[in-house]
Amino acid sequence: MKVLQFTVPIVQKGSVAVQEDILPYFYNYYHRHAEAQITLIIRGEGTFIAGNYTQPFKPGEIYILGANQPHIFKADPRYFENTSENNIHAIHIYFDQDALLGGILNLQELESIRKFVLGSTNGFQLPEQFCQTAALMIRRINFTDRAERLFEFFRLMHFFATDVKNWKSLTNGFSKYAFTDSEGLRMNDIYQYTIEHYAEDISLKKVSEVAHITPHAFCKYFKKHTRKTYMSFLNEIRINEACKRIINGNFDSISTIAYAIGFNNTITFNRVFKKVTGMTPTNYISGYKRK
């Protein structure tokens, strides 16, 4: 999918490059780049989108993104209120996926890593129980360079390939489609508008105007490229926000959450919440109170 083609702004050259971001907010555009990416979130939270997959992200999490996989770490709105603060901190590892597969990963001793790289082109999230170990490895990679960095990188990839089980997939087939530049920009506009206005009463007429097509054409366009309706996508964004508010304790009641994120009544909110998460809001809240 050709969205906003992003050139990784890294000075050092080599098979593995590292960028440490300590900034007011994350890169604020839905984009892709030629390199595969491993990201450790150290500070900052918001909504993560990869293709048509969405979920909240928070400190301590680790994500793997394949080459040219469209994505955005959309920081919470509060981070844009004071752009003089270093609100976010993340370490990104970039590597040439094709070069590794066509070169050193052909060695028999690295077969397990080769299989892992081949299987991760659509993205994974590292299970929580492995994050602390992997975070230490990522920090070591950040503090090394040249051959030592490459050795540490393969140590991390070996850990991913042989020790980690039950990876969380970040794809629903969206990344299999190839879009033109204009289509990528259109999808970026749709995503950005939805994330910024999800709490409002978004009509198909309004969002189709953002995409510069008719409501009927918009419904077909969005379903074709995401394999879901726009309303399903909007509801996922809203429920992700509801989950964040529950986790943070930022609510007075279920009804206040429902109205704050764009639902007109709690009955609809309860139904949609259960459809997206597999449990009722009450059960979700009880689960976090027990933790």
Q: Check whether 18 has a pLDDT greater than 70.
A: yes
What span, in angstroms and rounded, lies between the C-alpha atoms of 106 and 101? 7
Number of alpha helices (DSSP H) and beta strands (DSSP E) in the chain: 11, 11
What span, in angstroms and rounded, lies between the C-alpha atoms of 56 and 42? 14
The pLDDT-based confidence of 289 (bands split at 50, 70, 90) is low
Q: What is the mean pLDDT of residues 27-37?
A: 88
Half-sphere exposure (Cβ direction) of 158: Cα atoms closer than 13 Å: 9
Q: Check whether 282 has a pLDDT greater than 70.
A: yes
For residue range 201-238, list pLDDT tens digits in order: 999 999 999 999 999 999 998 888 777 899 988 998 89
pLDDT of residue 172: 43
pLDDT of residue 278: 80
> Starting from the edge strand earliest in sequence, which strands make up the sheet with 53-57, in order?
4-5, 31-32, 71-75, 46-50, 53-57
Q: What is the mean pLDDT of residues 3-10?
A: 63
Domains of the chain with CATH codes: 4-169 (2.60.120.280), 179-289 (1.10.10.60)
What span, in angstroms and rounded, lies between the C-alpha atoms of 277 and 261? 16
pLDDT of residue 108: 87
Q: What is the mean pLDDT of residues 39-65?
A: 90
Rounded to the nearest integer, the mean pLDDT of the chain is 85
pLDDT of residue 261: 93
Name, of 34-38, 107-111, 171-175, 188-192, the range with top average pLDDT: 34-38
CA angle 92, 98, 100 (to 5 degrees): 75
Q: Which residues of 130-148 are buried (b: 16+ CB within 10 A; e: fewer)?
A: bbeebbebbebbbeeeeee
- Name the token pair of 60: 């301590």
How much of the chain exceeds pLDDT 90, in percent? 42
CA distances 237 to 15, 106, 166, 193, 240, Å, are 36, 41, 24, 12, 5
Q: What is the mean pLDDT of residues 12-19?
A: 78
pLDDT of residue 177: 45
pTM exceeds 0.85, yes or no? no
pLDDT of residue 173: 34
Q: Check whether 291 has a pLDDT greater than 70.
A: no
CA angle 193, 277, 66 (to 5 degrees): 60
For residue range 136-195, list pLDDT tens digits in order: 999 999 999 888 999 999 999 999 999 998 888 886 433 334 455 566 677 778 888 888
Q: Check whether 2 has a pLDDT greater than 50.
A: no
Please list the helix, strand and coil fractions of the chain in percent, rounded to the nearest 5, in that order.
50, 20, 35
Q: Check whether 239 has a pLDDT greater than 70.
A: yes
pLDDT of residue 8: 65
What span, in angstroms and rounded, lies between the C-alpha atoms of 121 and 105? 15
pLDDT greater at residue 203 or residue 102:
203
